[in-house]
Amino acid sequence: MNYQSGNEYLHDMPLILAGPMLQHTEPESVTVWIALQQACQVELKVYDTTNNGTVLGDSLFQGRRSTIALGKSLHIVAVTARSLDMYRLRSDRIYAYDLQFIDQTDQTQQTLQQALCCNRFPTVNISYFAHQKPTFVLPPNNLQDLRIVHGSCRKPHGHGFDTLPILDCLIEETASQPRQRPHQLFLTGDQIYGDDVAEPLLWVSSMLGDALLGWEERLPVTQKQPGDVAYYTPKQLPPGDRADVVTHQGGFTAGLDNKRAKVVSHLLSLGEYYASYLLIWSPVCWPNAFPQGREMMRTRKATRQWDQQVQNLRQFIHTLWKVRRALANIPMYSIFDDHDVSDDWNLNQAWCLRVLGQPLGQRAVQNALLAYAVSQAWGNTPWQFEAEQSGEKLLAAAHKWSASQGTDTAAYEAIARYVGMPPNNAHTGLPEFVPDGSVLVLDRHPEALTWHYTVRSNCHEVIVLDTRTWRGYPAEQKPTAPPMLLCPQTFERQLSVPLQQASGIPATMVIAPTNVFGLKVIDKIHHWQLQRDKVFATDVGDAWNINSKALAKFLTTLFEQRQKIVVLSGDIHYSSAVRLSFAGTSGNLATQSVLVQLTSSAMKNEETITRILHTRLKHWLLPEKVRHWIGWLNPPNMVEQRAKKSHRAQMKPDWNCALEWIPRQNIQTPNFGDRISWLKTPRQTAKNEKWQWLQQLMFWKYPWFQDGREVVGVNNLGLVHFELTDTNNSYKVMQDSYWFSCWYPTQIVYSRFESQLLPNQSLLPIEMNLRA
């Protein structure tokens, strides 16, 4: 392939570059997202099926929408189909869908199968049935039949095997069983990595991005001297050479604290962010061949790293066909976390001033948010992109920006307005903040898109939080002070209002991209780093419990409306389950409640420390103990109970709570988990066979040693389900964390976390303890 020529780069590719991906799906409508290389009108039809999904029935829903031209060779649409006669889809039935593509130039038509295939991809399978149509099921009526999959942190060149392909196995195993089949997928953050990009991945993203746009973006930089350059193009910032520009011109903090390697290939251009989404979800746009390290890098170390990263990427690409098929057959919802833009995104006020006050930093953040809007948010909340809505106005502005090859200032300003970029002060050049009680919030236009949303069915509701763009920064503290992850006004919008909109729903889930509760040792490290003002080293401020007032407000807001809460979270590269038992004494809190936090992370980004936590060493050396807090309502606050007295110890608390870690059960192997053949590339298989005798000597890989008790610290994917118990007709919630075994890598296993959805009475004292 010639990566300098967009036409040649895309010549051998099919019409469909990525997708189809099933997104927001409910009884009244079905939305499918797709990326094409030509402008088309896309027709979506939804069909009934019989015989457990094997036979297509009548067409029930129809919808049409034209693609939006985001570049010369990038045309995206999220098309929604609805019933013309008020028909509603039902639970416990398998439905299928099909797509037709009408070329807007010559009116020729292609079927879905034709649009998927080309000389390079002569056969593409995105179905589990002989009729070759993607299928799906709606959530069931009974909670005990509900199956929710979630995960986060999927870095293409991260260590270990990608676990998102396991979703394909889960669907394939139960494709004809609507009650057993996974019903929804929630990606809880870091779907792409704007920072910490492998050099070969940036090489592909940059060339693909320019090919998709059909033009080269001029990335603005600050001219300190009259003779300094005013802009860079992506080609002028090659892989491995972006650290200085990203850190000093963009202001990004990922390169601070000896983390320079995280930014040497940082994404910056709009084309690069667009390309990243196509590359993580589809095998189509990846090249057949990568150059060797010695052709691209200047030092031996960099050459070896390039070649190793290429091997990691080849493994990632090898299983992308399973990811593509899975995402076509399950409703997928997502929310961003920091890496979808850049490490530390909006971490604190200092980050906002440092990055959004720089032309390059502001441009990169806006590019990332625009790419997120068209690649993820459109499918999450399709109603925001209908006629006359902010999303449709954003799409029009994005089209004009690209059509002008990045010169239409009005279009650029419109994009900033609709993605919620704060305006910059005319005198200081710094982003504007507005007060919200005792905190400051980034200013935004009233027409800006909202990233939070709620998904409901007959048996559950999922409240998806935006904890990145509505942070409350303390007005009277230094700029590096930990923020409220939700400012006061958005507690009402994102939590109180959705909770008040429905009642009597058996299960309430909340998507919190950053953990509410984490390992105690991590809390101690965060507080220690905060005292040293080293907040960017370990993302101090991203965990809810680093700001006690915000955490107290979060808990009491939830428990005023619900007594049973399940939080789904990611971010921290391990899987775990914790249960918080809560007891209040006044008002709406005069009852006992429970919150179970289920964490699933990372899908592909395990680290040395998490692999150690995964083993029995963690439980032996540093076990998690029960923790207790007392709290107050006005003003909201909470204090962990310790031996020493607190300055508020004499004030009668309004509530108390206790946190316990739920141990994971013994490892099990699913029916589809033994000796899987699709996982390894031929080169990896040969290497494994060569050194297989050595595996038997590695005692730390033995199943017994790997069977830790507190976390799953290797790449994993979580499946959440419920079971009705005999205790007061209540439920218990379970998370099966699937991962690839260390002792036999071509084997899938899972560890189960199981918790009653009832508070632990033994941890809640009858009399409130007044000593903190």
CA 675 to chain centre: 29
d(CA 661, CA 641): 17
Instruction: Report residue 689 as tokens.
Output: 């066979």
Q: Are 652 and 752 in contact (CB under 8 A)?
A: no
Q: Are 265 and 201 in contact (CB under 8 A)?
A: yes
Task: Give the chain's mean pLDDT.
Answer: 92
Query: Can you state the angle between helices 320-328 and 300-318, rounded to 10 degrees?
Result: 40
Amino acid at 372: Y
List, for residues 48-60, the tens digit of each pLDDT value.
Answer: 999 999 999 999 9
How many helices (H) and strands (E) in the chain?
23, 29
Q: Are 143 and 506 in contact (CB under 8 A)?
A: yes
Neighbouring C-alpha atoms within 13 Å toward the C-beta of 304: 2
List, for residues 32-84, the tens digit of each pLDDT value.
Answer: 999 999 999 999 999 999 999 999 999 999 999 999 999 999 999 999 999 98
List, for residues 433-477, the tens digit of each pLDDT value.
Answer: 999 999 999 999 999 999 999 999 999 999 999 999 999 999 999
d(CA 359, CA 357): 7
Query: Can you state the angle between helices 199-213 and 300-318, rounded to 10 degrees?
Result: 60
In the chain, % of residues over pLDDT 70: 94
Residues 44, 48, 54: CA angle, nearest 5 degrees: 110
Q: Are 250 and 361 in contact (CB under 8 A)?
A: yes
Examine the pLDDT at 696 and tell me if it is beyond 80: no
> pLDDT-derived band of residue 647, with 50, 70 and 90 as boundaries?
very low
pLDDT at 228: 78
> pLDDT-derived band of residue 522, with 50, 70 and 90 as boundaries?
confident
In 420-464, the DSSP E strands lie at 433-436, 439-442, 453-456, 460-464
List, for residues 160-191, the tens digit of each pLDDT value.
Answer: 999 999 999 999 999 999 999 999 999 999 99
For residue 222, with 0-12 CB atoms within 10 Å meaning exposed, 13-18 middle and 19 or more buried, which class applies? middle
pTM: 0.95
User: Comparing C-alpha atoms, which of 317, 323, 289 is closest to residue 125?
Assistant: 323
List, for residues 572-626, the tens digit of each pLDDT value.
Answer: 999 999 999 999 988 878 889 999 999 999 999 999 999 999 988 888 888 899 9
Q: Are 431 and 356 in contact (CB under 8 A)?
A: yes
Instruction: Report residue 487 as tokens.
Output: 């400012």
Instruction: Report residue 438 as tokens.
Output: 């005792």
pLDDT at 684: 65
List, for residues 98-133, the tens digit of each pLDDT value.
Answer: 999 999 888 899 999 999 999 899 999 999 999 999
> pLDDT-derived band of residue 355, with 50, 70 and 90 as boundaries?
very high
Collect all residues with Cβ–Cβ distance below 8 Å to 767 and sequence separation of at least 6.
none
List, for residues 492-508, the tens digit of each pLDDT value.
Answer: 999 999 999 988 899 99
Examine the pLDDT at 539 and tell me if it is beyond 80: yes
List, for residues 291-300, the tens digit of each pLDDT value.
Answer: 999 999 989 9
Instruction: Report residue 104 as tokens.
Output: 């807007």
Examine the pLDDT at 331 and tell me if it is beyond 70: yes
Examine the pLDDT at 206 and tell me if it is beyond 60: yes
DSSP bridge partners of 29 = 26, 82
Q: Are 551 and 576 in contact (CB under 8 A)?
A: no
d(CA 237, CA 265): 9
